[in-house]
Amino acid sequence: MDLTSYVQQVSREDFGKEFRHQAAWNKRLKTTGGRFFPKDRHLDFNPKIYEHFGLETFRKIVRHELCHYHLYDEQKGYRHRDKDFKDLLKQVDGLRYAPSHTPVRKSLIYQCKKCKTNYYRQRRIDTKKYRCGKCRGILERIKEK
């Protein structure tokens, strides 16, 4: 699929306006679906979003970036916090945030033997070294989420 022509098609169909710059894949993007560059007005997109979630979700991300693009052209509020951006994004049914495609990290649960307070951690802790912050009781690992 030619990305620039696809973005031009989405722009015409969903916004009724022309996209006159370049769109490119950027494999280095990790947590975002795409980026808009006001300086030269090109768009970058994350190919992993397209691969993991399909064309329907990717089209919503293209709409998001095109909201930035068209609002910048019209000299309106094109940033995420601006009302113009939020209104246009809702109008064209674009995604506000990119869906997460990273695996969820396991969560460890420790519990104080004395006061039964739970502590949730991403990394294992040394129960011989650390104690409960409330009562100084001994911690024990009860389960992984």
Indicate the annotated binding residues for Zn(2+).
64, 68
Quickly count: other Cβ atoms within 10 Å of residue 100's Cβ.
Answer: 9
Residue among 13, 18, 65, 74 flagged as catalytic: 65
Q: Is there a catalytic annotation at residue 65?
A: yes
Comparing CA positions, the residue from 127, 130, 126, 109 lying closest to residue 118 is 109
The residues annotated as belonging to the active site are 65
